Chain A
Amino acid sequence: MMVLLLVLPLVGALLMLLWPKIAPLLTLLTATICSLAALQLLLQVSEQGSQQILLAGWPSGLAISLEANSLSCLLILLTTVLQLLVALYAFATYRRDKLGTGFWPLSSLLQLGLTSLWLSRDLFNLYVCLELLGLVAVALVSLSGDKAIKPALNYLLLSLFGSLCYLLGVAMLYGAYGVLDISALALQWQTNILSTAALLLMTLGLMLKAALWPLHGWLPAAHGAAPAPVSALLSALVVKGPLFILCLLWLQLASAPQAVAIAPLFTGCGLAALLLGGVSALRTPFAKNMVAYSTVAQLGYAMLALGLLLRFNQPLFAAALWLFVLAHALAKAACFLAIGEITATLGGKRLNTLKGASQTMPLAMFAFAVAGGSLIGLPPSGGFLAKWALLQGLWLQGDQLLWLLAIVLATLLSAAYVFRVVVLAFDRADPVAPDFAPRILPQWLALLPALAVWAMALYSEPLLRLLKQEGL
């Protein structure tokens, strides 16, 4: 099943390169099959426990090991389902938006890169996955044509620098311990300068690639310049890949003193991301950049949860971390698709374009508002679940009033930038006239992930149980 999930998008992408004409249909087909396979894998794993395979049939250590635990399976399911949704949206709009034929094979390769990243438990293989992911993301951003070249090039250079830092860290660890498999490495782990330096280097590279504050500078330009379906994929999924590796490193490899020592850095960066990212989102005049800055801010929650998890070792924080990742992915996909659809129809990039959108494009605006509700953390959405887990964890630790205050402030900020859009959209006095009749189907497709994130609340109990157990 794991192999099918890896091979199918790859073969699909190769066929799309050969016959570009059938590419859209082929993308939909592979994404559908992969979603079903991912669901099947998730059910299998939740019944029988995590599956492990050693590729190429060599003994452990020599071979690359893949592991599907319930977290990996959930993330794979999220990837394939979002892939399917975005592919449907792209299929509905690609003629109108003149989306390049390159989109289809690239998005399939993106799925391959992410799936293999969620499964891999080998430091060097993770580097290859990171490289794959970075290059796909840059190629996807450059689909927008000449205006995207500069952000794409910046993204490429920073992403390469991040990869090199990570690779250097891997080389140091391999030099010291002579193994690349994470579980084997964890057994021999020693706390010394070498391992600390390697961890810090890898963290620097991964934070750069995941656009975690203060290394987020490339993200708004790159995600803002990309076509709407691409921004949705990048914001929802691609930045989560390096975050996953970061969690793998600090939760599975680092020794307890190292983890406790780094925790203040992560919580501090998370808090700064929440506050400063929120302020930037409030101030930017461009619609897509606002959504991109909101990604920077929301990644702060994940950072905060990771830092608190390292410090207090409380499973509720692990659940909060992954719930944030899941909820943010769904909500952000909806936001980008809705904003993309509105700006394409009303013609303009600035937030002022959205004036009166609740009248001209009510469905897309509804999708944005619903997804925004989850970003704020209104009950009963996925964002609320995550925030509740975080607050509950803090409450159980006791005496964490300062953190509670900071989270309340961050929530107010996210409410402010979401309502900034909503208020503008309800300004019906002089609405911006659409360039052409708004289309219904793409708006519904933007609404689907937003509804899914609210539906997460229905499965809150199994989700919480599963993520508390297996937050890596």
Chain B
Amino acid sequence: MSLLLFDATLCLLLLVLALASILSRQLVHGVILYIAFGLMMALAWARLATPDLALAEAAIGAGLTGALCFSALARQQLHLPVVLSWPQRLWPAVFVLLMLGGVLAALLQLPPTASPLVDVAQAELINSGVSHPVTAVLLNFRSWDTLLELVVLLLALLGALQVAPAAKATTSWPLSLSWSRLLAPMVILLAGYLLWAGASQPGGAFQAGALLAAGAVVLRLNHQLNWLRWSNFWIRLLIVSGVSAFVLAALLAMLLTTDNTDVIWLRWPPQLAGGFILLVELFATLAIALTLTLLVVGEPAAAEQAQQNSGGEAHD
């Protein structure tokens, strides 16, 4: 009974927060409400028994997206009051309602049986090298999808680097600086734990990377870690390492396949699968953390290049 009450409150709160963040008159309020919405959403995922999603939602949806919105707001120069006429508001609403109605009507027809693939996946779990099914799907059964998703993340950064506006000089607040320094070791420890735990329980590269990124973003916005920029070769190497470690591991696995069956792309040798997955996850974590940090901080590549050219000569 109490759980039902909790769920009902959560659903209501989600709806209220979503509406409030859309309807709030000031963008700042909207962002704050949106962060609260993200946290509630994470709770909702946890209630739906998907802790992996809950962790990701808390780290990305509430944490990093909130920081991204705030830093975007800080750089926004114009304050244009956007006034939409009623028809302009009405058409999207009608469209969304119609689509939502259709989708809901269709979803009511969903059969209650679970997918036959779940049994197959559970049966093959012992051969996958990890004991957590989500990690097994992500890094073994459907690793090609994950590899391409890492490329998508990299692409998001490449696109953002091109359009990023010039950074505005801001001063940092001493309290937030010392607080973020205090938090940093804790964040690293937690991220390490999440990564390690991913093999057997909820967690893994994406959640760990997002957490690390959150710590780095706070420090970076407080003008620490100034070497953390795209023009730095080593940072670039680490960002690219997520995908390249994946590819190299796959090539290595191809070489290690000694039996006479034909070589198959992305098949980990069954005895070494756990090791391969941990290796891939480790680099993926670092790459995800750095990519997300640079995405949120968002400094233009061109300006950095110029700065590096002038500074680089002094170094040499």
Contact = CB atoms under 8 A, between A and B. Distances in A.
Contact of B117 (A53, A136, A179, A193): A179
Contacts of B102: 197, 200
B103 A197 contact: yes
Contacts of B239: 17
A175 B266 contact: no
Interface in A50-70: 53-59, 61-64
A11 B111 CA distance: 43
B117 to A, nearest CB: 6
B147 to A, nearest CB: 8
A132 B152 contact: yes
B144 A56 contact: yes
A143 interface: yes
A61 B152 contact: no
Contacts of B141: 56, 58, 62-63
A247 interface: no
Contacts of B114: 178
Interface string A261-280: 00000000000000000000
Interface stretch (A99-107, A302-310, A319-327, A447-455): A99-107
Interface in B112-165: 113-118, 120-121, 124, 140-145, 148-149, 151-152, 155-156, 158-159, 161-163
Interface in A122-161: 124-125, 128-129, 131-132, 135-136, 138-139, 142-143, 149, 152
Contacts of B124: 58-59, 62
A396 interface: no
Interface string A168-182: 100010111111000
Interface stretch (B5-13, B36-44, B54-62, B240-248): B240-248
A193 B106 contact: yes
Nearest to A174: B115
17 contacts: A10-B151, A17-B158, A56-B268, A57-B264, A58-B124, A62-B121, A109-B151, A124-B142, A125-B145, A135-B159, A138-B159, A178-B116, A178-B117, A179-B115, A193-B109, A194-B109, A201-B99
A7 interface: yes
B255 to A, nearest CB: 14
Contacts of A402: none
Contacts of B236: 17-18
A237 interface: no
A131 B162 contact: no
Contacts of B113: 178
B91 interface: no
Given A56-B144, A61-B120, A179-B116, A142 B159 contact: yes
Given A102-B162, A178-B116, A64 B110 contact: no
B93 to A, nearest CB: 15
A13 to B, nearest CB: 8
A177 B117 CA distance: 10
- A63, A112, A192 — which one has the most chain B CB atoms within 10 A of its CB? A63
Nearest to B160: A139
A340 B24 CA distance: 46
A179 B118 CA distance: 10
Q: Is the interface of A mostly helix, strand, loop or mixed?
A: helix
Contact of B120 (A17, A62, A177, A201): A62
A132 B162 contact: no
A194 B158 contact: no
B120 to A, nearest CB: 5
B106 A102 contact: no
A105 B116 CA distance: 40
Contacts of B107: 172, 175, 194
A135 B152 contact: yes
Contacts of A194: 106-107, 109-110
A56 B152 contact: no
Given A18-B236, A102-B158, A106-B158, A178 B115 contact: yes
Contacts of B118: 178
A116 interface: yes
- A17, A102, A129, A172 — which one has the most chain B CB atoms within 10 A of its CB? A17
Contacts of B161: 102
A136 to B, nearest CB: 6
A10 B266 CA distance: 15
| Contact-residue bracket for chain A | 35 or more
Given A56-B143, A174-B115, A194-B109, A139 B244 contact: no
B244 A14 contact: yes
A17 B158 CA distance: 9
A55 B264 contact: yes
A369 to B, nearest CB: 35
A17 B106 contact: no
B233 interface: yes
A197 B107 CA distance: 9
B265 A53 contact: yes
Contacts of B268: 56
A18 B142 CA distance: 28
Given A59-B120, A168-B103, A128 B162 contact: no
A341 B203 CA distance: 52
B265 A10 contact: no
The 8 closest A-B pairs by CB, nearest first: A178-B115, A139-B159, A197-B106, A57-B267, A57-B264, A194-B109, A56-B266, A3-B265
B84 to A, nearest CB: 16
A54 B264 CA distance: 8
Contacts of B267: 56-57
A198 interface: yes
B105 interface: yes
B237 interface: yes
A105 B120 contact: no
A118 to B, nearest CB: 14
Nearest to A19: B233
A193 B110 CA distance: 10
Interface in A39-59: 53-59
A75 to B, nearest CB: 18
A172 B106 contact: yes
A70 B162 CA distance: 38
Interface string A1-29: 00100110011001001100000000000
Contacts of A138: 159
A59 B114 CA distance: 19
Given A56-B144, A58-B124, 16 more contacts: A17-B158, A17-B239, A55-B143, A55-B264, A58-B141, A62-B121, A62-B124, A102-B162, A105-B158, A116-B148, A132-B151, A179-B116, A194-B106, A194-B109, A197-B105, A197-B106
